[in-house]
Amino acid sequence: MAYIERYNKNPILKPNPKNSFENHSVFNACPIALDRKKIGLVYRAMEENQTVDGHELNLSSIGYAESTDYLNFKKRKQLIAPKEEWERFGCEDPRITKINGKYFIFYTALSKYPFCAEGIKIGVGVTKDFKRIKKHPVTCFNSKAMTLFPKKIGKKLVALLSVHTDCPPAKTCIAYFDKEEDIWSPAYWSKWYHSIYNNILPLEKGDGNLVEIGAPPIRTKHGWLLIYANIRNYYIAGPKTFGIDAVLLDLKNPKKIIGGLEDPLLVPFEDYELNGKVPNVIFPTGTILKGDDLFIYYGAADTTVCVARASLKDLLRDILEKKLVSFERYNKNPILEPSSRNAWEAKAVFNPAAVYLNKRNHIVYRAMSHDNTSVLGYASSKDGFRIDKRLPYPIYTPREHFEEKTSENGLSGCEDPRITKFNDKLYMTYTAFNGKIARVALTSIKADDFAKQKWNFKKPILISPPNVYNKNCVLFPEKVKRKYVFLHRGDGKNIWIDFVSSLSFKKEKYLGGRILLETRQDKWDSLKIGAAAAPIKTDQGWLLFYHGVSETSRYYRVGAVLLDLTNPKKVIARMSTPLLSPRMLYEEEGQVGNVVFPCNAVLRKNKIFLYYGGADSVVCVATISFKKLMKALLKEKII
């Protein structure tokens, strides 16, 4: 962890009873360099018992002070008072950035009381001299904590902001402006809001947490350093923990996260952080850099302004030691959607298998009709992204009693296929469901027939025990110690491994085995996990993608593990963070919201194509560098 120390004379700014505008509390401050020797500080100032429109409240405004040593501030004054209709119940938590010779001071503007989501938005004050300030309402939706990057990126002004903080799920977002006036243009924000899912910065760390933009980003040679607030258990039961976090964003594309810290830089510890107007709170809103010293300014217990100092070099080293890797979505997702022309796939298409044959990615996807019967459809792509062939009929339909419908409009059929190429055959496992019990079925087809679209699949057999709910079964692409190897969910919760002597299952009859991988408490995969794709053989081990479901949010995410080549019962490494999480509209809204569910991955040269279902409704694809993934995975070896 990067070395960080609190200033031994904290707090550096306390309420001043002589100034009525700040006699209750002062906190959440943001500094700005005025010249080589002097800095200015904007901060949230709160006044005791003011009456506004007949309501008595502690009214917030924006204060201002100056310093020559970063720690002692003088010339305190009220800079922005809540005088406009759209801010009349308070101006909170300012962030200040200088660009194009102007200072932009963003703050949370409160227009309604009692406070509610629709009355909490963003305002901005623009000034050149801290005397004449022109104010504008900015957003037209619930939002707060906005800050501007201190330099243009690709000739555009760029800002970060927190959206829907008060009507969750909250989102951390990015906005690009062609000109200054776009910042407060209702037309701009209306258009931006309609494409909000293309503007998300995925900072969230854990379910039930609230992330808020902290300080304006700092440009370093390695990327944009963002110090922000991560509040654990904000939306769920349990003790809330306010922490200060750090993340590094790509210099040219700040929507791309380079890396971050596993643990917070600071959590409440000192008496002035644990006790105050709102106990147990630290909240970062500003930073300033002096040589290698990074000064982080934060509010303590919503009462005072404090500062901590960290080594920038050490902090960047800690972040870069564990660079973040994640799947990159295809920008034209979904690649397959339901078709009203075909009744068998009119309701949903999702959870696809995929295999690479004859220089094409072949996709076998689950399709659902309006009577809730699942069949398997076919599509293919030469480049792995664009679908250039899609058949108008299903290639595999329910044919056995264990997958046929037992009640009108009840769920039934062939679900969630996984395909493994084994020598000259393709073996397909899938979930056979009759509306009562889900079991694993196995069938096969010659690879040459499949490529020629001769759909003569062999008669399926059930390979999981009766009266046991079993799903998510994958077959390894080669034998290990003369045995076929399967992964499946033998207990409805964990990933099991089993070794069988024959794919006819005449000797073993059904899958059994032992637990290979278990859920992890308090992590993204705490409720249940399942194998997502047939393992990929690498020089370092068997690469396995799996899906995990959180106990708190019930979100489906994707992670990876590495298994030993000669003894796949041994887990070599396991990613601590997910590689893909639902955040796009097509993943958040559908038959089952907040789901990314892959059933196969294809390795082509150095790129892995992951095909997955979004919200149980559409088919999507995302890619990741094989080399970068393996490098990151090997850093998380299990000792």
Q: Look up the CATH number of the domain holding residue 461.
A: 2.115.10.20
What strands lie across the sheet with 55-67, from one edge to the other? 25-33, 39-52, 55-67, 74-80
The values of phi and psi at residue 256, to 5°, are -95, 125
Residue 3's pLDDT is what?
79
Mean per-residue pLDDT, 340-364: 98
- For the chain, what is the domain count? 2
Last residue of a domain, one of 263, 287, 321: 321
365 and 491, same domain (yes or no): yes
Same domain (yes/no): 135, 273: yes
Lowest mean pLDDT among 10-24, 74-88, 224-238, 355-369: 224-238
Q: Is the pLDDT of residue 496 over 90?
A: yes
pLDDT digits (tens, 9 = 90+) for 538-573: 999 999 999 999 998 899 999 999 999 999 999 999
Give yes or no for a contact between 445 and 428, defined as CB atoms under 8 angstroms apart.
yes
Tell me which amino acid residue 407 is: S
Specify whether 249 is located in the same domain as 335: no
Q: Do 630 and 586 share a domain, yes or no? A: yes
- Classify the C-alpha dihedral 165-167-170-175 as positive or negative: negative
pLDDT at 107 over 60: yes
Provide the domain limits for residue 172.
Answer: 4-321
Q: How far apart are CA 507 and CA 520, in angstroms?
A: 34
CA-wise closest residue to 637 among 574, 579, 576: 574
Determine, yes or no, domain membership for 577: yes
* Residue 409 within a domain: yes
Do residue 487 and residue 579 come from a single domain? yes
In a domain, 98, yes or no: yes
Q: How confident is residue 406, by pLDDT bands cut at 50, 70 and 90?
A: confident
Interval 429-485: pLDDT, tens: 999 999 999 999 999 999 999 999 999 999 999 999 999 999 999 999 999 999 999
Residue 1 has pLDDT above 60, yes or no: no
Give the whole-angstrom CA distance, residue 468 versus residue 367: 25
Parallel, antiparallel or unpaired: strands 618-625 and 328-329: antiparallel
The neighbour count for residue 30, using CB atoms within 10 Å, is 29
Q: Supply the pLDDT for residue 2.
A: 62
User: Which residue, among 427, 451, 422, has the nearest Cα to 362 in the 3D structure?
Assistant: 451
Q: Reduced to 3 states, what is the DSSP secondary structure of residue 170?
A: coil
- What SS3 state is found at 92? strand
Contact 113, 53 (CB under 8 A): yes
Whether residue 600 lies inside any domain: the answer is yes
- Per DSSP, the three-state class of 449 is helix
Nearest C-alpha neighbor of 295 from the set 506, 94, 69, 521 = 69
Could you tell me if residue 207 is inside a domain? Answer: yes
**Residue 379 burial by Cβ neighbours in a 10 Å radius (0-12, 13-18, 19+):** buried
Last residue of a domain, one of 301, 321, 341: 321
Mean pLDDT of 403-415: 93
Write out the H or E segment, with its range, that includes residue 440: strand 438-446
- Would 404 be classed as within a structural domain? yes
Q: Say if residue 444 is in the same domain as residue 366.
A: yes
Domain annotation covers residue 639: no
List the beta strands (DSSP E) in 138-255. 143-148, 157-163, 171-177, 210-212, 218-220, 223-232, 241-249
Q: Is there a single domain that holds both residue 179 and residue 202? A: yes
Give the CA count within 13 Å in the CB-facing half-sphere of 18.
2
Same domain, 434 and 552: yes
> What type of residue sits at position 578?
P
Provide the mean pLDDT of the chain.
96
- Residue 114 and residue 106 in contact, taking contact as beta carbons nearer than 8 Å: no
State the DSSP code for 457.
P
In this structure, the answer to whether residues 333 and 207 fall within a common structural domain is no
Answer yes or no: do 412 and 382 share one domain: yes
310 & 410 share domain: no
Domain edge (last residue) among 321, 352, 370: 321
Is residue 560 included in any domain, yes or no? yes
- Whether residue 468 sits in one domain with residue 393: yes
pLDDT tier for residue 232 given thresholds of 50, 70 and 90: confident
User: What is the structure's pLDDT at 211?
Assistant: 93
